[in-house]
């Protein structure tokens, strides 16, 4: 990112007639986190999000509802603005492409390009997808379906206006090559370069005849046409600056955050439009990955669209924000499940920073009359103190090192790595407390100084950790500061200067409140008896907050994060009430079932349900972890020939790799393993 004092960050502008989902929330939360961090660091930030309101889909939906398209947009826009409020999104402006000022800017830019003869009129015949609002060429189209959305397409022939995009091909390749950060992550940069280097870049149709689509911005040079919705939408990134802040102050953008599916429109259409308009290109376009839901593509037809409002209701905005950025490296695809979210909240937040705050404040309440102890800071810098408190030196140093890495983490959008480091610092403070055993020190009047030093250190670490978590969990950071008894103005550049150790004033009255993150009671998940994988409950009533374990002066266990959530369960594990979708023979044939002989079996430590089996498939041996331990003693299985799914992606269950799954009858309880009447050779195919 560039090193100027300003920071301009954008999200895509979302289609107004979409129902807000986890994908929208993801980009917007990521942008918010960057905006909040750079404000803390003292940069002049402009954070823009908004709505894309023109185009065929809006026109059609409005017609269906029997209302004017503008009224339709006005009715739908609050779905997004309300969600952003609930998610604590701190955008500086909200643009709607139906804003009069935006429309004027689009028309001005079109006129400029037209006057420079960079827009021309021509005939065009091609395959048009109404859903994606774009033409496809003959070679793109197979079976009369849109290559993108697989919906049917129509052959259209019309006069249109074209932007001479093709002439910028070489310049764009050169720009991408010479600007390392222009397209990120690097895999996406290579994709775009690969495409530009092997295919001829055509010109871009930037108009639609009003006879077909009237809901759009009229071309300034031909009133029979409206502007193509992507040309209109992309201009938002500069038009918003023109009428909401001042173009020169913030352009070029530091980062446009987009999903991977809309990278081309940004990297190619937008970049060449800017070249034609003689404006500098954004510093960076970052394409993030997509979320699947329990292993499946999210879609309305599957009925698995994740509603961010429901997640906020159930888990709270901060926990949801944390999960989105912690679970998956930004740039990669990830899988969402409520189980994984609940586990993450418990392991990282309730047992992590929440527990650390609660135990620290409880001990201060009990042993220091509810005030932060005053400690001799001079003494703490002495050699004697360093020798006596090596762990204190370590946590202090460790927090400082993390501070030194913050800029770099945010510059590289390495949110998940940063959050991982923050949680590991929380564990270090826990270990520091455990090692000094303040509950014992409290019983010995001669150890009063040590007790106070330990409790002060814990509280001071929490103050600093609060600053670190603020961008991702703003309400939590405020709550944490309040409970420590300090007032921090997070709207001011608190991280402009280096953090000074010891700024938490001794004598401050703490205000211990509720747990930052009540532990979530994760429902006894319907464990897939076949695999031991936990099945997703169709309507998870399970994850409801329960009150925190009463604070105790005893050391709270430093709970290691449980292993990453196992891969989602296959459809067979769906709850009984849900009628499984029918599948064709082709789908069934994808599943490779085989006879397998059990060579050895043992219980997985600390699990009632899981058995670890070594099985032979004739030519190879596999390890399978199966949730059949309540029904079978391991030794009774040895020598049996059972049925396994041989081509299931390996997954880890309680840290143990499982390379397939066994078939068994039953639902949440195993009734019997599938075996054979005859003797069957291990490795024989089953169908
Ligand atoms: N209106 C255009 C963007 C114009 S920007 C000048 C648009 N809108 S959208 O409503 O479809 O928003 C799509 C955004 O949501 C994209 O960034 C897309 O990648 C993201 N996602 C849609 N589904 C997603 C997931 N399942 N997971 C993550 N993000 C996903 O495109």
Distance, in Å, from the CA atom of 80 to the CA atom of 20, rounded to the nearest integer, reads: 7
- 394-412 pLDDT, tens digit per residue, is 999 999 999 999 999 999 9
pLDDT over 60 at 525, yes or no: no
Share of the chain above pLDDT 70, in %: 90
| Dist. CA 10 → ligand 1 center (Å) | 13
Region 502-519 average pLDDT: 96
Distance, in Å, from the CA atom of 454 to the CA atom of 449, rounded to the nearest integer, reads: 9
Provide the pLDDT confidence category of residue 511 given band limits of 50, 70 and 90: very high
Q: What angle do CA 505, 508, 511 make, to 5 degrees?
A: 135
Q: Would you say 536 and 557 are in contact if contact means Cβ atoms under 8 Å apart? A: no
Q: What is residue 141's DSSP assignment?
A: -
From 29-33, 125-129, 632-636, the region with the lowest mean pLDDT: 632-636
- 269-283 pLDDT, tens digit per residue, is 999 999 999 999 999
What pLDDT score does 581 carry?
A: 62
What pLDDT score does 528 carry?
A: 36
| Dist. CA 23 → ligand 1 center (Å) | 6
Q: What share of the chain is helix, strand, coil (3-state, %, to 5)?
A: 40, 20, 40
Region 618-624 average pLDDT: 84
Q: Is the CB of 233 under 6 A from ligand 1?
A: yes
| Dist. CA 185 → ligand 1 center (Å) | 17
Provide the pLDDT confidence category of residue 651 given band limits of 50, 70 and 90: confident
From 79-83, 292-296, 579-583, 641-645, the region with the lowest mean pLDDT: 579-583
Sheet of 255-259: strand order equals 93-96, 44-52, 6-15, 255-259, 285-288, 183-184
Q: Which of 515, 469, 238 is nearest to 358 (CA)?
A: 515
Region 340-367 average pLDDT: 96
pLDDT over 50 at 352, yes or no: yes
Q: Is the CB of 235 under 6 A from ligand 1?
A: no
Answer positive or negative: Cα dihedral of 102, 108, 113, 119: positive
Distance, in Å, from the CA atom of 611 to the CA atom of 372, rounded to the nearest integer, reads: 50
From 65-79, 256-270, 555-569, 602-616, the region with the lowest mean pLDDT: 555-569
Distance, in Å, from the CA atom of 14 to the CA atom of 216, rounded to the nearest integer, reads: 16
Q: Is the CB of 79 under 6 A from ligand 1?
A: no
Q: Would you say 252 and 5 are in contact if contact means Cβ atoms under 8 Å apart? A: no
Q: Would you say 568 and 337 are in contact if contact means Cβ atoms under 8 Å apart? A: yes
Q: Is the CB of 259 under 6 A from ligand 1?
A: yes
Q: What is residue 675's DSSP assignment?
A: B
What pLDDT score does 580 carry?
A: 53
Q: Measured from the CA of 12, which atom of ligand 1 is nearest?
A: 5
Q: Is the CB of 23 under 6 A from ligand 1?
A: yes
Q: Would you say 226 and 207 are in contact if contact means Cβ atoms under 8 Å apart? A: yes
pLDDT over 70 at 547, yes or no: no
Characterize the bridge pairing of strands 285-288 and 255-259: parallel
Provide the pLDDT confidence category of residue 4 given band limits of 50, 70 and 90: low
Largest Cα–Cα separation, the chain = 92
From 356-365, 457-466, 560-569, the region with the lowest mean pLDDT: 560-569
Element (H, E) at 108: helix 100-115
Higher pLDDT, 57 or 574: 57
What pLDDT score does 166 carry?
A: 97
Which of 127-141, 342-356, 556-570 ranks highest by mean pLDDT? Answer: 342-356
pLDDT over 70 at 37, yes or no: yes
What pLDDT score does 396 carry?
A: 95
pLDDT over 70 at 571, yes or no: no
Alpha carbon separation from 376 to 99, 185, 402, 437, 507 (Å, rounded): 60, 48, 25, 20, 13
Provide the pLDDT confidence category of residue 637 given band limits of 50, 70 and 90: confident
Cα atoms found within 13 Å of the Cα of residue 253, Cβ hemisphere only: 31
> SS3 for 335?
strand
pLDDT over 60 at 530, yes or no: no
Distance, in Å, from the CA atom of 355 to the CA atom of 337, rounded to the nearest integer, reads: 24
Share of the chain above pLDDT 90, in %: 68
Region 15-26 average pLDDT: 96
What pLDDT score does 309 carry?
A: 97
> 9, 84, 232, 259: which to mutate for ligand 1, most atoms within 8 A of CB?
259
For residue 267, the tally of other CB atoms under 10 A from its CB is 28
Higher pLDDT, 268 or 559: 268
pLDDT over 90 at 16, yes or no: yes
What pLDDT score does 227 carry?
A: 97
| Dist. CA 24 → ligand 1 center (Å) | 6
């Amino acid at each position: 990112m560039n090193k100027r004092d300003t920071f301009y960050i954008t999200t895509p502008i979302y289609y107004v007639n979409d129902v807000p989902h986890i994908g929208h929330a993801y980009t917007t939360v990521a942008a918010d986190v960057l905006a909040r961090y750079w404000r803390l660091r003292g940069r002049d930030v402009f954070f823009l999000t908004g709505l894309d309101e023109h185009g065929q889909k809006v026109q059609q939906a409005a017609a269906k509802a029997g209302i004017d398209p503008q009224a339709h947009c006005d009715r739908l826009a609050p779905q997004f603005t309300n969600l952003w409020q609930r998610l604590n999104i701190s955008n500086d402006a909200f643009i709607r492409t139906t804003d009069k000022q935006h429309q004027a800017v689009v028309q001005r830019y079109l006129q400029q390009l037209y006057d420079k003869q960079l827009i021309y009129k021509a005939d065009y015949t091609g395959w048009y997808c109404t859903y994606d609002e774009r033409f496809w060429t003959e070679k793109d189209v197979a079976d009369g379906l849109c290559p993108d959305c697989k919906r049917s397409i129509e052959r259209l022939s019309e006069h249109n206006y074209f932007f001479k995009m093709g002439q910028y091909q070489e310049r764009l390749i050169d720009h991408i090559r010479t600007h390392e950060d222009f397209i990120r992550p690097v895999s996406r940069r290579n994709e775009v370069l690969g495409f530009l280097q092997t295919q001829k870049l055509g010109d871009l149709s930037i108009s639609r005849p009003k006879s077909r689509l009237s809901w759009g911005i009229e071309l300034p040079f031909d009133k029979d046409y409206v502007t193509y919705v992507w040309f209109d939408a992309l201009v938002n990134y500069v038009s918003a600056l023109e009428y909401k802040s001042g173009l020169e102050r913030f352009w070029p953008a530091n980062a446009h955050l987009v999903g991977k599916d809309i990278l081309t429109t940004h990297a190619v259409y937008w970049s060449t439009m800017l070249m034609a308009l003689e404006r500098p290109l954004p510093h960076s376009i970052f394409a993030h990955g997509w979320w699947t839901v329990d292993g499946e593509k999210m879609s309305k037809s599957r009925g698995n669209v994740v509603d961010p409002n429901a997640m906020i209701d159930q888990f709270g905005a901060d926990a949801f924000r944390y999960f989105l950025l912690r679970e998956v490296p930004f740039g990669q695809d990830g899988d969402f499940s409520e189980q994984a979210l609940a586990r993450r909240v418990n392991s990282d937040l309730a047992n992590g920073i929440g527990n650390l705050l609660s135990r620290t404040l409880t001990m201060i309440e009990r042993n220091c009359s509810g005030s932060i102890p005053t400690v001799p800071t001079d003494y703490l810098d002495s050699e004697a103190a360093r020798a006596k408190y090596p762990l204190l030196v370590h946590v202090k140093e460790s927090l400082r090192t993390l501070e030194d890495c913050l800029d770099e983490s945010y510059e590289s959008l390495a949110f998940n790595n940063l959050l991982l480091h923050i949680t590991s610092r929380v564990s270090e403070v826990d270990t520091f407390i455990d090692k000094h055993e303040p509950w014992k020190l409290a019983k010995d009047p001669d150890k009063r100084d040590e007790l106070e030093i330990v409790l002060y250190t814990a509280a001071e670490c929490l103050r600093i950790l609060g600053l670190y978590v603020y961008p991702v969990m703003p309400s939590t950071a405020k709550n944490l500061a309040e409970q420590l008894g300090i007032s921090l103005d997070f709207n001011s550049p608190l991280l402009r200067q280096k953090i000074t150790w010891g700024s938490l004033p001794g004598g401050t009255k703490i205000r211990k409140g509720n747990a930052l993150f009540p532990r979530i009671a994760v429902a006894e998940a319907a464990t897939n008896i076949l695999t031991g994988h936990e099945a997703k409950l169709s309507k998870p009533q399970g994850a409801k907050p329960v009150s925190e374990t009463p604070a105790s002066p005893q050391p709270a266990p430093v709970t290691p994060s449980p292993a990453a959530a196992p891969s989602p369960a296959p459809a067979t594990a769906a709850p009984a009430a849900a009628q499984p979708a029918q599948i064709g023979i082709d789908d069934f044939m994808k599943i490779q079932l085989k006879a397998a002989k059990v060579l050895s079996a043992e219980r997985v430590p600390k699990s009632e349900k899981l058995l670890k089996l070594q099985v032979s498939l004739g030519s190879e041996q596999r390890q399978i972890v199966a949730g059949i331990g309540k029904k079978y003693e391991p030794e009774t299985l040895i020598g049996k020939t059972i049925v396994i799914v041989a081509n299931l992606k390996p997954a880890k269950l309680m840290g143990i790799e499982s390379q397939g799954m066994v078939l068994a009858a039953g639902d949440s309880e195993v009734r019997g393993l599938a075996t054979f009447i005859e003797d069957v050779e291990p490795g024989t195919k089953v169908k």
